[in-house]
């Protein structure tokens, strides 16, 4: 199948996508372990973000290398933007979580009779280390998605500028270019002595004037009978 609808990207873009997938799998595994130790809202959101990232990257790899008919650069652009937002939230909430993570330690309880699971010192140390790791990896993942989004946006711009199709078997994505060229051609000034409108096929003949002894037929009163 023709791949004319695919956006041309640098070769290292593929390597960056592999790095994103590896980081997403690691963060997903660490977040699952963190949820097993102590369930928190930020860890749960990170589990979801990891699954979401793995899903969109698998879709990208399959569309590019196996099923080009499902390739759609509009979908890739939207998913990249969503991934940038999600990973920004991930490392931001984990940075905030580091300020309050000591509340789940065994040394201090913010609610003595709380039903929250009390952690051993070893579990708390592991939880704290995982939080730092997810924060660092989430920040790297966010930077990678920002970079790939920039290259994808530039590639889409060049793709549309070249007039290549938007999807498999689709028409040119630069129909607006053709329309603008036609409009520009229509608005070009005409040479002197020419007109945009075709001349009338038959010219109007002037009304004959009869001057017989000062009598003007054009000024004669209309016949009332």
In a domain, 126, yes or no: yes
Residue 68 contacts by C-beta under 8 Å, 6 or more apart in sequence?
1, 2, 3, 5, 6, 168
Tell whether pTM > 0.85: no
Q: Give pLDDT tens digits for 163-180.
A: 665 555 555 544 444 444
In a domain, 223, yes or no: no
In a domain, 202, yes or no: no
- Select from 3, 164, 163, 159 the least CA-distant residue to 69: 3
In a domain, 136, yes or no: yes
Q: Give pLDDT tens digits for 102-132.
A: 555 544 444 444 444 555 667 777 888 888 8
State the residue range of the domain holding 104: 12-162
CA atoms within 13 A on the CB side of 10: 13
C-alpha–C-alpha distance, residues 210 and 81, integer Å? 84
In a domain, 129, yes or no: yes
Task: Please count the structural domains in the chain.
Answer: 1
């Amino acid at each position: 199948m023709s791949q004319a609808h695919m956006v041309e990207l640098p070769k290292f873009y593929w390597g960056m996508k592999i790095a994103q997938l590896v980081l997403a799998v690691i963060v997903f595994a660490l977040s699952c372990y963190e949820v097993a130790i102590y369930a928190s809202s930020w860890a749960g959101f990170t589990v979801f973000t990891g699954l979401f990232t793995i899903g969109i990257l698998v879709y990208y790899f399959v569309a590019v290398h196996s099923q080009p008919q499902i390739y759609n650069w509009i979908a890739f652009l939207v998913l990249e933007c969503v991934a940038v937002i999600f990973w920004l939230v991930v490392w931001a909430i984990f940075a905030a979580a580091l300020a309050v993570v000591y509340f789940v330690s065994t040394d201090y309880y913010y609610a003595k009779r709380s039903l929250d699971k009390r952690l051993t010192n070893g579990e708390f140390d592991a939880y704290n280390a995982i939080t730092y790791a997810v924060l660092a990896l989430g920040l790297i993942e966010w930077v990678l998605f920002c970079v790939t989004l920039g290259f994808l946006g530039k590639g889409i711009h060049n793709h549309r500028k070249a007039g290549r199709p938007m999807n498999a078997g689709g028409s040119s994505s630069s129909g607006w270019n053709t329309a603008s060229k036609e409009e520009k051609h229509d608005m070009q000034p005409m040479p002197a002595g020419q007109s945009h409108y075709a001349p009338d096929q038959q010219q109007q003949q002037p009304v004959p004037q009869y001057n017989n002894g000062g009598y003007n037929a054009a000024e004669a009163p209309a016949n009332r009978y």
